[in-house]
């Protein structure tokens, strides 16, 4: 079973929930798709033994063949090229690797060359994997796609998604059996939760909510979920003990044995929903 953990708003507890869930169930693969700032490794402490470069294909001009006609720049939907005085200027970091420029070139004057944008790192049995996007690179989808290709078909998988609700999240949740939406009882948490709910609904994915930092303010989330018949799978209390443990890189389930039991129960609840 593949479970994606997303939130909309950043800092609500995606990694706390996904790393805790991974640690509460047997034979579970953990994949950190938040490749701009992967932090699951801080809590799970994997021993990285494999590093795979993530390459993308970008165009290069064969100068002798290029006539400077500009068809390549016209074909590019991402403004990654300009043609000035018969010379093609390429901005590789804006390229989305679609190959349209190569198809459009009437002179066959363009070829694809490989460029590294980051890495995928795993431990020896690939029970832990994360991606790392190079600093300054704007496009992270190819790294997430490579991580998703390495998902094991048997056993359980927890996917820690990037924040937000854009294409990186769509790529991360695709093909998952269930989505956990982590939220917090604040107006921002609710606002972005609503966007995340709309997203998973549009994608036709089953989902439930984990309410993190639950407190006397939880009403705004409870009311939202009651109105829409959305299941709150679990609540993690707003607690100093959990925050202190977190600040030392310790998961709440290690600080609180009852929580570990609750994560196990939540997993069985999700299993029941998916298999039903």
Please state the closest distance from residue 140 (CB atom) to other proteins, in A.
14
Distance from C-alpha of 180 to C-alpha of 127, rounded to nearest angstrom: 20
Phi, psi for residue 84 in degrees, rounded to 5:
-125, 120
In whole angstroms, how close is the CB of 137 to other proteins at the nearest point?
12
Residues that bind other proteins (CB under 8 A): 73, 78-85, 87, 89, 91, 94, 138
Residue 72 or 129: the one with the smaller Cβ distance to other proteins is 72
Cβ neighbours around 157 below 10 Å, total: 22
The nearer residue to other proteins, 85 or 202, going by C-beta atoms, is: 85
Q: How far is the CB of 141 from other proteins (least distance, A)?
A: 14
DSSP 8: B
The Cα–Cα gap between 236 and 238 comes to 7
How near is the Cβ of 82 to other proteins at its closest, in Å? 5
Of residues 1 and 83, the one with the C-beta less far from other proteins: 83
Give Cα 24 distance to the centre of its chain: 21
In whole angstroms, what is the distance from residue 90 CA to residue 105 CA? Answer: 14
Which of 193, 222, 196, 210 lies closest to 270, judged by CA?
Answer: 210
- Identify which of residues 115 and 269 has a Cβ nearer to other proteins in the complex: 115
Minimum CB–partner distance for residue 89 and other proteins (Å): 6
The vertex-196 CA angle with 15 and 144, nearest 5°, equals 55
- Between 60 and 271, name the residue whose CB sits nearer to other proteins: 60
């Amino acid at each position: 079973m593949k479970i994606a953990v997303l939130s909309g708003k950043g800092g609500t507890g995606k990694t706390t929930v996904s790393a805790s869930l991974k640690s509460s169930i047997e034979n579970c693969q953990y994949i950190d798709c938040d490749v701009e700032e992967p932090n699951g490794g801080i809590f799970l402490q994997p021993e990285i033994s494999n590093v795979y470069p993530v390459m993308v294909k970008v165009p290069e001009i064969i100068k002798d063949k290029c006539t400077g006609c500009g068809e390549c720049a016209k074909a590019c939907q991402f403004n990654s090229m300009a043609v000035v005085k018969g010379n093609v200027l390429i901005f590789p970091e804006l390229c989305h690797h679609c190959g349209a420029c190569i198809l459009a070139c009437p002179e066959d004057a363009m070829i694809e060359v490989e460029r590294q944008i980051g890495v995928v790192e795993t431990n020896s049995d690939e029970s832990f994997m994360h991606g790392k996007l190079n600093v300054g690179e704007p496009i992270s989808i190819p790294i997430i796609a490579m991580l998703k290709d390495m998902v094991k078909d048997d056993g359980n998988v927890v996917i820690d998604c990037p924040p937000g609700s854009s294409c990186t999240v769509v790529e991360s949740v695709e093909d998952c059996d269930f989505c956990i939406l982590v939220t917090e009882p604040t107006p921002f948490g609710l606002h972005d939760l609503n966007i995340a709910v709309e997203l998973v609904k549009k994608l036709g994915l089953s989902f439930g909510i984990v309410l993190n930092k639950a407190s006397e303010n939880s009403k705004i989330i409870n009311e939202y979920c009651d109105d829409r018949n959305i299941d709150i799978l679990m609540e993690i209390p707003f607690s100093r003990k959990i925050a202190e443990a977190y600040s030392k890189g310790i998961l709440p389930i290690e600080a609180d044995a009852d929580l570990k039991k609750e994560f196990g129960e939540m997993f069985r609840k999700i299993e029941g929903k998916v298999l039903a």
